[in-house]
Structure 1
Amino acid sequence: MTATPATPSQPYSPFVPCAQQVPRFRAGRDLLGLVLLPLPLVALVLPAAFAGGGTRRWFGGRSESQRAEAQAAKDAAAAAFYELDTAQRDLRISIETITAVDDTPPARRAVADFEALGRRIDEVSHTYIDAVDAHDLDRDDLEASVAAHARTELSKAKDELVRVKQELDRFERGLGPLLGKAETQLARLAPAVERARQSLLAASNALDAVRGSGLKADDLAARLAALAPELTKLNQGAGQHGVPETLERADRVARDAGAVRAEAERLPERATEIDRRLVSLRTRAQALTTRSGQVNPVLSELRRRFVAECWQDLQHVPDQAAEAVRQAEVKLAEARGAREEQRWADATALLSTVRALLNTTDEAVSAAGDRLRRLNEVSKDPQREIERTRFAIRDAQRLAMAGRNTPDPRQARPLDESVARLERAIGSLEGRHPDYWHFLTELEGVRGAVAGVVSQIREERGAGA
């Protein structure tokens, strides 16, 4: 038997919501007619009846509002999560900059604090992700209570994300000094390495120019070759050797290469100077040979006119002068050989030795003639030396009494001793053969002691002022 659907009081319209049309069927017969529809048609009608436009239409008002609020909380939490993640990434770059340059305790503490913050960030991030995963806000059957609970959890996760972001911002502000120092060193790195390379290149070019002029520079070449391993390490970069070490290495290479370059550029002038000194010292050695031959006549006159104490310390001068000149000539020959072999450092050292020998000989030879001159002067007029010494003592005594009624014993005692020494020296001139050399040296000693007292007085008064 075929059931015939009842005719509704109003025509069925597919454009009227199903919820409004159902009440218009008669309860029993119309429902029977609906049940007896062919199966394909039921399949077409039921979805349209119960799903048309989505289940959200069934809940309306409060449910949609709670869903919207939950979605807004989700979006706010996502924005906070993104900001925190971005800040952490940026701060990690700053930390890596600091650790690349600085290994001091403050830098190590900053790294440890950043790691602790990282663990805190991981915790709040997991809380946020769990809250997002726990609530599907796009579900058709989302209940209002579930949406409200989701909003609460997502808002809480967002607040935690914001709070940790604030902690991260405070930490970043505290990194300012360390980061500034690190960035300064990193800014120096590339220019320092480039200066080192340019210094090496300039040294190499200067060395080539010197060799092109026919001069040897083997020692400079060896010093430059020793810098090659340092250049290799510079090329390997600070990532392998560290920023501070690389900066120090670059400065050292630039300094050493600059020294090689400067010496290479001065080498022609140095060779000319060595040639000039060879000639000059040879001439001086010859002149000293002539002068040392004049010491014997001076000693002969000293022996003839003055007591032995006046000349006995000079009697070995001729032999000593001859030996010193002989040694100087040997060293000159060695220096000339070093110059011909272009061993510049050896030639310079040998010439310095020659100069020292000739200076010593010159002083000894001059001492004999100077001794005779001074003894002649004092033997003719000893009063000049006496008055010179007395004036020094009186001047010191006036200074010691300036502003005082009685002298300071620390100053009066050496001045009194100086007066006594002067009188004894004057007394030593009596007799047939006075020791004029002792007289001269004694008066020099007196003047030296008096000068010490004057210096002491002036220092004490200067400190008191």
Structure 2
Amino acid sequence: MALALLPLPLLALALPAAFAGGGTRRWFGGRGESMRADAQAAKDAAAAAFYELDTAQRDLRISIETIVAVDSTPAAQRAVSDFEAIGRRIDEVSHQYISAVDAHDLDRDDLEASVAARARTQLTQAKGELDKARGDLERFQQGLGPLLDKAETQLARLAPSVERARQTLLAASNALDAVRGAGLKADDLAARLAALGPELTKLNQGAGQHGVPETLRRADRVLRDAEAVRAEAERLPERAAETDRRLVSLRTRAQALTTRSGQVEPILSELRRRFTVACWQDLQRVPDQAAENVRQAEVKLGEARQAREEQRWPDATSLLSTVRALLNATDEAVSAAGDRLQRLNAVSKDPQQEIERTRFAIRDAQRLAMAGRQTPEQRHARPLDESVARLDRAVSSLEGRHPDWWHFLTETEAVRQTVARVVSQIREERGQGA
């Protein structure tokens, strides 16, 4: 924002006239001498008022320049416009004062009493206008408080912010040199650091060329980006070590899953021999799927190892995450076959335990639904009654020579889940009511 500041010739021009005196003169005593003294006193008072106004205007001009250097908001623009208007008013009263001083030579020997009286009146009036202008200036200055505080705060931040940005850039450069010395390339970090070079150049050019707000924003941005590079560079050796550990760990896990996958086929054979098709048909593809997952994991491990050697860290991390997901899926599938056989063996030997476990859950929920009530809420009673009927149907399905034990287990588990939802709903409603 361009600010047309007022020239300051007034004080220099006015003071010699305001305080001029000396020389020899003849005094005629009496009323004339008294009027001359009163006029001189008025002149001195007006000169003092003019000096105080000039000083206040100079101080306020510094404040306005501080605001302009930092702030380009509409509020700051209004402050500049208002200051210029006050400046024009100060020009007017200053001209009135200077004219009054120039109009009367109070040192003349033949100064008439009427002239001295007129001079006193004009000078007293000029002083009043100067005092009024200074009052307006002081009130305006008080209103600048928030804008000036904001501007001074930003200016106080400027040098420390720029210096912190420079120091952080230096720290990032040193950290990058250290990891390169350890044999790590860190090309991506080097490119990010190099991209900050033009920004550092602009910081060095200073706020005079780019403005205080933009320089502060640039310093903050350089600080943030350089700090990120520094932190990543310092973590890079640990990242490399962690990548190496994960490569070894996932390789070992893949080998272990290869061994475990070989145990699925005997489990499926026993399931086929002892239980109905419905109990094991969804597990038919587990051996093939496990083998395929392990094969894909081995391929991805090889790619991850290559990325590690080339120090493509994001690629290595992504590939290792893929390997982990494949091995997790394989682990779950292989475990599911063994768990299925174990659960079917247990329930086929003693189905009563599963039945009682489910009935206990239903009864417990029914007691909770009836607590403090003569009749339960229908939204609670209905799903519990349906759960009783569903359990009875599941128990009835066990009759016959070859019951579907897996269907029985999935039904009892579904009943318990329904009951658990009803219990949660009751407790939540009663908790809200409390």
Name the TM-score, length of structure 1 as normaliser: 0.84
Q: Which residue does the alignment assign to 1:29? A: none
Q: Which residue does the alignment assign to 2:162? A: 193
Instruction: Give the drift of 1:413.
Output: 1.6
Counterpart mapping for 1:25-424 below 5 A? 56-57=26-27, 59-424=28-393
Deviations along 1:200-223, one digit per CA (max 9) or x if unpaired, are 000100111111122111111011
Deviations along 1:61-114, one digit per CA (max 9) or x if unpaired, are 333322222222122112111111211221222223233333444444433333
Instruction: Give the drift of 1:199.
Output: 0.6
Instruction: Give the drift of 1:54.
Output: 6.3
Q: Which residue does the alignment assign to 1:442? A: 411
Q: Which residue does the alignment assign to 2:11? A: none
Residue identity in the other structure for 1:453: V
Q: Which residue does the alignment assign to 1:15? A: none
411 and 241 in structure 1: CA distance in 2 versus 1, 3 angstrom threshold: farther
Aligned counterparts of 2:274 and 2:214: Cα–Cα separation in 1? 75
Residue identity in the other structure for 2:92: E
Name the TM-score, length of structure 2 as normaliser: 0.90
Q: Which residue does the alignment assign to 1:451? A: 420
Aligned counterparts of 2:88 and 2:381: Cα–Cα separation in 1? 83
**Contact 1:56-1:64 at 8 Å conserved across structures:** no
Query: Where does structure 2 lack aligned partners over 5 or more consecutive residues?
Result: 1-22
198 and 428 in structure 1: CA distance in 2 versus 1, 3 angstrom threshold: same
Residue identity in the other structure for 1:452: R
SS in structure 1 at match of 2:260: helix
208 and 84 in structure 1: CA distance in 2 versus 1, 3 angstrom threshold: same
67 and 444 in structure 1: CA distance in 2 versus 1, 3 angstrom threshold: same
Point out the more displaced range, 103-112 or 316-325.
Answer: 103-112
173 and 452 in structure 1: CA distance in 2 versus 1, 3 angstrom threshold: same
Residue identity in the other structure for 1:435: D
Point out the more displaced range, 78-87 or 135-144.
Answer: 135-144
Where in structure 1 do 4 or more consecutive aligned residues deviate above 4 Å?
none
Aligned counterparts of 2:90 and 2:357: Cα–Cα separation in 1? 92
103 and 414 in structure 1: CA distance in 2 versus 1, 3 angstrom threshold: farther
Instruction: Give the drift of 1:192.
Output: 1.5
300 and 249 in structure 1: CA distance in 2 versus 1, 3 angstrom threshold: same
Residue identity in the other structure for 1:195: R
Instruction: Give the drift of 1:148.
Output: 1.3
Aligned counterparts of 1:277 and 1:224: Cα–Cα separation in 2? 29
Deviations along 1:420-444, one digit per CA (max 9) or x if unpaired, are 2222222222222222222212222
Deviations along 1:160-188, one digit per CA (max 9) or x if unpaired, are 11112122222222322332233222222
Aligned counterparts of 2:74 and 2:398: Cα–Cα separation in 1? 79
Identity over the aligned pairs, expressed in percent? 84
Deviations along 1:227-258, one digit per CA (max 9) or x if unpaired, are 11222222222333333333232222212211
SS in structure 1 at match of 2:374: coil
Aligned counterparts of 2:67 and 2:376: Cα–Cα separation in 1? 69
Give aligned pairs, total: 412
Aligned counterparts of 1:162 and 1:365: Cα–Cα separation in 2? 95
Q: Which residue does the alignment assign to 1:20? A: none
Residue identity in the other structure for 1:415: L
Deviations along 1:286-330, one digit per CA (max 9) or x if unpaired, are 111111122111112112221222211111111111111111111
Query: Where does structure 1 lack aligned partners over 5 or more consecutive residues?
Result: 1-52
Aligned counterparts of 1:259 and 1:55: Cα–Cα separation in 2? 82
Point out the more displaced range, 216-225 or 408-417.
Answer: 408-417
Aligned counterparts of 2:411 and 2:88: Cα–Cα separation in 1? 88
391 and 185 in structure 1: CA distance in 2 versus 1, 3 angstrom threshold: farther
Instruction: Give the drift of 1:139.
Output: 3.2
**Contact 1:306-1:435 at 8 Å conserved across structures:** yes
Q: Which residue does the alignment assign to 1:431? A: 400
Instruction: Give the drift of 1:414.
Output: 1.6
Residue identity in the other structure for 2:26: R
Aligned counterparts of 2:375 and 2:265: Cα–Cα separation in 1? 55
Aligned counterparts of 2:178 and 2:161: Cα–Cα separation in 1? 26
